[in-house]
A and B are shown apart, each in its own frame.
Chain A
């Protein structure tokens, strides 16, 4: 009996050792890139929606079929861990050639010298397709660190039947409500068991700072090379209006405060909330998950002094260490041509940065499912001061998010919120 057990253990050990040897063989040699043959590019993509994933894979396959001398390997990453993945890849000297990420995050990598300057690598044609304000979001110290290609804007998704029942007319795509109108309509849509709006504010900072631009609220001010946080009337306007909806007018649901955008959908589909201020990409969930017969409509961004919002486009960058930068740039030109960019934007339900791509997309969709509103919203997206501030991520995590959460939970006053945001800025900004 004992002998049998011992034999089994020995056999298991042998299997493990042999297996380990076999496993070594599985992946060995991948680091040694052949000096001859086609250029091999690794493309780390963050596409994750079903349609978007398919478009990405199809475009890569098509490129590979048409360009036997430049072969692209599609590698899918994920948004939650991409920062650590990239950081370790860059530090370890084994980064992908082409990197998909977002404008606000690639600046840090660029400053550390990990990303190539694309100024001379991409064509004037591609440069001309995208507005300067959008290029600015991906430009760090004069270096173009990525090609911005997909934009997200804040719109309002509404339950059409509830709007009709309350006698609230849907505004045209190019003429949204003012904040006063939005608040008044939310009030009209509020009745027992139903709130006019649901503000999903689990992560409130980006959202508040984006919308603050409606009233020219900048939060981050440069002063002789030093950046500081200031919270004046312009910065206070958006938090105050949301707070009023929650606790004075009671036209926004307090229970949605701890939710992320998608968490509000059951309540929205159930008729509990009439309007969801949220990203244009929420439209996808409407199409996929709304119950049969549910009518929804996309309302344009709400207007303060303007409808400006911060643009934080998704970007494609090229690693500084890539041995094939020119070939990578060729792939980017192909991948982001107007037709392909429109297809990528459609797959992710986002707005393409390219003007021609935007027009093609509206034509392709006949403006339905909110594509007309999405296209118009791109005009008011611009670089915001907080996106250029070095200490912003730390300020956001340590100070802004907790302070805003407390304010929206009615635990502190607006002045206390302002003090905490300013004091936090003094701790982390240089």
Chain B
């Protein structure tokens, strides 16, 4: 149907792709460069990409002044717990919403969407009061609870889309072959839903990892602070920032997301359904 692309068009495609990759990757490269620059190289009229006198002093400062290591560990705990719990709650709920359509289910989905419209600042004080009442203010558990609740609406929308993409015929065929309902879910639905679950986990992890405002307001004890809150302390009055330590800290903050994504991205491929149902 389509002819073989000419060498010129292929070259142009590669060039466009390379340009796009540079566009995407440049901020990260610049962050890397800034993180290793001494103070005097940060404010040059003609900045260089490669530092003339690279230094790890920014990393030392970032870690010694703000205890970024502990903050990163806190963020990791909170984000992993949020990701796992979000998936655990969203999985059965999204299956029910996708497979058992009813007016109540539709209304629930509508409400879920509507709940995303409330601004943070409107909710934060009631949330804080409720968490304090139940003894979860100033705890990571309270923060995880908020992150799970916050991520759930989007997770539900996303996952129920994945569930709908799994042909009902596969479940029916398994039932005809004698599988029980639980077996159908375990052996047919769950494996096919894996890419969706991975995507949902990624989404929850990254949104918890980057979240700032709830962590700022709900956590009072310095030892429990998360990474975005610790990083904000390198920014001063009217946006003036201590660029070196901030870049060093930010670079470290991007790594877990990248590593997590690198490990999970293979699971995102949804080719497992190919040929499952023959027309």
Binds B, one of A263-271, A362-370, A377-385: A263-271
Q: Separation in Å of the A33 CB from the closest CB of chain B?
A: 12
**Segment of A82-90, A335-343, A398-406 in the binding face:** A82-90
Contact, CB under 8 Å: B81 / A260 = no
Q: Which chain A residues border B242 with CB–CB below 8 Å?
A: 48-50
B213 CB within 8 Å of chain A = yes
B257 proximity list for chain A (CB < 8 A)? none
- A14-47 interface bits toward B, Cβ cutoff 8 Å, 1 = contact, 0 = none: 0110011101101111110000000000100000
Interface assignment of A108: CB less than 8 Å from any CB of chain B: no
Which of chain A's residues has its CB closest to B66's CB?
Answer: A76
CA distance A311 to B192 in the complex (A): 65
User: In whole angstroms, what is the CA distance A306 to B44 when docked?
Assistant: 36
B150 within 8 A of A: no
Tell yes or no: A390 within 8 A of B by CB: no
- Which B169-215 residues have a C-beta within 8 angstroms of A? 186-187, 190-191, 194, 212-213
Q: Which of B26-34, B108-116, B137-145 contacts A (4 or more CB under 8 A)?
A: B137-145
Task: Report the minimum CB–CB distance from B247 to chain A (whole Å).
Answer: 14
CA distance A298 to B45 in the complex (A): 21
A window 218-244: CB within 8 A of B = none
Contact across chains for B140 and A269 when beta carbons are under 8 A apart: no
In the complex the two chains form, is B217's CB within 8 Å of A84's CB? yes
Chain A contributes a number of interface residues (CB within 8 A of B) equal to 57
A248 at the interface (CB under 8 A from B): no
Do A75 and B190 touch across chains, with their CB atoms under 8 A apart?
no
Contact of A2 among B44, B186, B212 (CB under 8 A): B186
CB distance from A265 to the nearest CB of B (A): 4
- Whole-angstrom distance between the alpha carbons of A285 and B78 in the complex? 37
Chain B residues with CB under 8 A of A42: 220
Q: Does B107 interact with chain A (Cβ within 8 Å)?
A: no
Q: Chain B at the A interface: mostly helix, strand, loop or mixed?
A: helix
Complex-state Cα separation, A196 to B125, whole angstroms: 50
B255 within 8 A of A: no
Among A23, A73, A289, A292, point to the contact of B43 (Cβ < 8 A): A289
Q: Tell whether, in the assembled complex, residue B40 and residue A289 are in contact, meaning their CB atoms are under 8 Å apart.
A: yes
Say yes or no: is B166 at the interface (Cβ < 8 Å to chain A).
Answer: no
Report the Cα distance A74→B191, complex, angstroms: 50
For A50, give its contact among B65, B142, B237 (CB under 8 Å): B65
Q: How long is the Cα–Cα vector from A93 to B142 in the complex, in angstroms?
A: 17
Indicate if the CB atoms of A81 and B191 lie closer than 8 Å: no
A48 touches B140 (CB 8 A): no
Determine how close the nearest CB of chain A comes to the CB of B133; give it in whole angstroms: 10
Contact A31 B45 (CB under 8 A): no
A23-B144, A88-B128 known; A16 and B40 CB under 8 Å? Answer: no
Any A CB within 8 A of the CB of B135:
yes
Question: In chain B, residues 90-146, which have Cβ atoms closer than 8 Å to a Cβ of chain A?
Answer: 121, 124-125, 128-129, 132, 135-142, 144
Tell me whether A285 and B237 are in contact (CB under 8 A).
Answer: no
Known: A16-B88, A267-B45, A289-B39. Contact between A31 and B236, CB under 8 A? no
Closest-CB distance, B119 to chain A (whole angstroms): 12
Q: Is B216 an interface residue (CB 8 A)?
A: yes
Q: Are A88 and B235 in contact (CB under 8 A)?
A: no
Give chain B residues whose Cβ lies under 8 Å from the Cβ of A75: 220, 222
The B-contacting residues of A in range 65-80, CB under 8 angstroms, are 73-80
Contact between chains at B236 and A49 (CB < 8 Å):
yes
Residues B186 and A30 in contact, CB atoms below 8 Å apart = no
Contacts of A267 in B (CB 8 A): 45
**Contact among A12, A28, A78 for B235, CB-based, below 8 A:** A78
CA distance A291 to B42 in the complex (A): 10
Chain B contact residue count (CB 8 A cutoff): 58
User: CB of A5 within 8 A of chain B?
Assistant: yes
> When chains A and B are docked, how far (Å) is the Cα of A55 from the Cα of B222?
18
Closest to B78 in A: A23
Residue of B nearest to A264 (CB): B43
Q: How far is the CA of A50 from the CA of B246 in the complex (A)?
A: 12
Interchain nearest-CB distance for B72 vs A (Å): 15
A301 to B138, CA, bound (A): 46
* Closest residue on chain B to residue A271 by CB atoms: B45
* A76 vs B125: C-alpha distance when bound (angstroms): 21
Q: A24–B138 Cα gap in the complex (Å)?
A: 9
B159: interface (CB < 8 Å): no
* With known contacts A27-B141, A31-B138, A81-B216, A261–B45 Cβ distance under 8 A: no
Q: What mask results when residues 284 to 300 of chain A are scored 1 for a CB within 8 Å of chain B, else 0? A: 01001111100000000
**B221: CB under 8 A from chain A?**
yes
User: Contacts of A270 on B, CB cut-off 8 Å?
Assistant: 44-46
> Given A92-B128, A261-B238, 20 other A-B contacts at CB below 8 A?
A2-B191, A16-B80, A16-B81, A23-B77, A23-B141, A26-B141, A27-B141, A27-B221, A29-B135, A31-B137, A50-B61, A74-B222, A84-B217, A91-B128, A94-B220, A265-B43, A269-B44, A270-B45, A289-B42, A291-B44
| Sample (17) of A-B pairs whose CB atoms are under 8 Å apart | A2-B191, A16-B81, A16-B88, A23-B139, A23-B140, A24-B139, A27-B224, A30-B138, A76-B66, A80-B239, A85-B217, A92-B128, A203-B238, A262-B43, A262-B241, A267-B45, A291-B44
